[in-house]
Structure 1
Amino acid sequence: MVRLLTNDVSVGYGDVMIVKHLSVQIPDQKITTIIGSNGCGKSTLLKAITRIISHQSGSVLLDGRDISKENTKILAKKMAILPQTPEGAAGLTAGELVSYGRFPYQNGFGRLTKKDYEVIDWALEVTGTLEYKFRPVDALSGGQRQRVWIAMALAQETDIIFLDEPTTYLDMAHQLEVLELLQRLNREQQRTIIMVLHDLNQAARFADYIIALKDGEMVKAGTCAEVIVPEVLREVFQIDAVIGRDPRTNKPMCITYNLLKGEKQQHEKNIPALYAHAGSAY
């Protein structure tokens, strides 16, 4: 089943096109990960799908409706997004920040209900941030702040959650905690999760579906086994990857890789030295 899709979407800034005629389908109630090199359009695509920025052409459809024509509050009850570099928490406590996730459910008076407070505490608890509820967000570490922002997205209680590099600033243990939390929300509550990740092995471990982008165009979309393969990674990242199997999940994993561009540059750099050496020898 597909509730969310893009049809021939192009997105740019001025005359520069970042996403080019992209048509993707997001599997419902699955975890989808978008991968690609820096500047390939991953974050831009997320912003266009969630209506943070406008697209120049094409359409984004949710439940058969064009999101550009959808009521903002109705859309906010269906989709939540955690940006790559969230801002705007200055002077707020963690609990106050998470309460912003309840905005779509508030009436004209903007008062929080008992249900709102229950959801806020739940979101803080599942992200391991309940102890920071009354602490200023500015006083938290980078990892603690990131988990509070994720709690705000969860408090929005949407079926679909977008996260742009949700493991940024987190150490390895907290990265795993966040990704396992998202996986649990997907499996137990059937939330549709769409996220951008840089770590290929994390993407392969937690995703059901992967979209690989290069220069704003889709190179490959499919299961982890279909996307995490040497030929796709060669085209997307310019690396020569050795792919094995994760012994715990049996999913593909990148064991090691060489940088193809770097090898070529090093080879070309060594050519004059080789000629000089050959000349001196003869």
Structure 2
Amino acid sequence: MERLYTEQLQVGYGERPIVQDLTITIPDKQVTTIIGSNGCGKSTLLKAMTRIIPHQEGSIVLDGQLIAKENTKALARKMAILPQTPESTPGLTVGELVSYGRFPYQKGFGRLTKKDIEMINWALEVTHTESFRHHPVDALSGGQRQRVWIAMALAQETEMIFLDEPTTYLDMAHQLEVLELLEKLNKEQGTTIVMVLHDLNQAARFANHIIALKDGQLIKSGSCEEVITHDVLAKVFQIDAVIGQDPRTNKPMCITYNLLKGAAKHDQKAIPLHGVRSVSS
């Protein structure tokens, strides 16, 4: 059974539609990346699917139930979301922030149970953030802070984690650190990961499934090989892309590109780049 999907979804702000007539499925226990140009509705879709914002038309279904009618705490036990620029209270420690992930399970005065403490310790351990448990979050580096926020999501003990541009403002090493952590969580814990990424090669490298949007509508969804193609990228980004193959992962990668407007059409069948093999468009 498909756990999470949308049907003819429409989301907007006021009278301005952002996501229009969108029908997609999120594969369970896989890594899905959402790609598209700025303003195409990627973040809006993420927020709607996690019920941060309401949708106007259509439906979002999780485990056979409309999420619009799901109990808030019950929903928070199934999915966690990390926004694009999460912020914490100044002076809040890492341990305190991660403990907030246990909110959906707390009752009464909200005291931490033995299970809560076990989950917090596990989340700190798996994200390698235990060593700065007592450090203020705002004193950490960008990569460390991102791992701490992921730890909070893990402490929430959900089977799905949604992340809106988790590599924004991070250098190349810290980007890989965060993406490899998410990949590890997916492979070892079976966590369903859904994230918005701007870097096409990172999207292809770490995803099992890609959703490409333009102007709030679905252009293509499927495997990396089905989505990272010359024709799809031309429709989504208006670029004339040269697609090759990553020599380490064998997945498609965008080697170079020109703006499609006024750009000459190039032969995509042969790309002599240090043995990198071309993927035909």
Letter of the 2:95 partner, please give it: G
* TM-score scaled by length of structure 1: 0.90
Alignment correspondent of 2:33: 33
Q: Is the 8 A contact 1:9 1:22 kept in 2?
A: yes
SS state at 1:52 partner: coil
8 Å CA contact retained: 1:89, 1:97:
no
Is residue 165–residue 196 contact of structure 1 (8 Å, CA) maintained in 2?
yes
User: Who is 1:202 aligned against?
Assistant: 202
The letter of the residue matching 2:76 is A
* Cα distance in 1, alignment partners of residues 66 and 221 from structure 2: 23
Could you say which residue in structure 2 is the equivalent of 1:232?
A: 232
Q: How far apart are residue 118 of structure 1 and its match? A: 2.1
* Residue-by-residue CA offset, 1:121-142 (whole Å, 9 max, x unaligned): 2222222222221111122222
C-alpha distance in 2 between matches for 1:104 and 1:180 = 27
- Whether the aligned pair in 1 keeps the contact of 2:8 and 2:57 (CA below 8 Å) is yes
* Partner Cα distance (1:138, 1:250) in 2: 39
Partner of 2:3: 3
Task: Tell me the distance in 2 between the aligned counterparts of 1:7 and 1:230.
Answer: 28
Q: Which residue of 1 aligns with 2:97?
A: 97
Segments of 5+ residues of structure 2 without an aligned counterpart are 265-281
Report the secondary structure of 2:3's partner residue: strand
Contiguous gaps of at least 5 residues in structure 1: 265-282
CA distance in 2, matches of 1:117, 1:155: 9
| 2: CA distance, partners of 1:164 / 1:260 | 27
C-alpha RMSD over aligned residues: 1.4
- Matched ranges for 1:199-278 at <5 A: 199-261=199-261, 263=263
Aligned-pair CA distance for 1:89: 3.0
Residue 170 of structure 1, CA deviation: 2.0
1:108 alignment counterpart: 108
- The equivalent residue for 1:273 is none
Offset at 1:263? 4.9
Q: Quick check: 227-236 or 163-172, which moved more? A: 163-172
Question: Partner of 1:242: helix, strand, or coil?
Answer: strand
> Which residue does the alignment assign to 1:23?
23
Answer 1 or 2: which has greater helix percent: 1
Map of 2:154 onto structure 1: 154
SS of residue in 1 equivalent to 2:51: coil
Structure 1 segments of 4+ aligned residues over 4 angstroms from their partners: none
**How does 1:56-205 map onto structure 2 within 5 Å?**
56-205=56-205
Instruction: Note if contact 2:88-2:137 (Cα within 8 Å) is conserved in structure 1.
Output: no
Larger radius of gyration: 1
Name the CA distance, whole Å, in 2 between partners of 1:179 and 1:199.
12
Give 1:106 shift. 1.2
Q: What is the CA-CA distance between 1:205 and the residue it aligns to?
A: 0.7
CA-CA distance at 1:262 after TM superposition: 7.3
How far did residue 32 of structure 1 move?
Answer: 0.6
Percent of pairs with identical residues: 75
Query: In the aligned structure 1, how far is the partner of 2:129 from the partner of 2:42?
Result: 28
Deviation at 1:183, TM superposition (A): 1.2
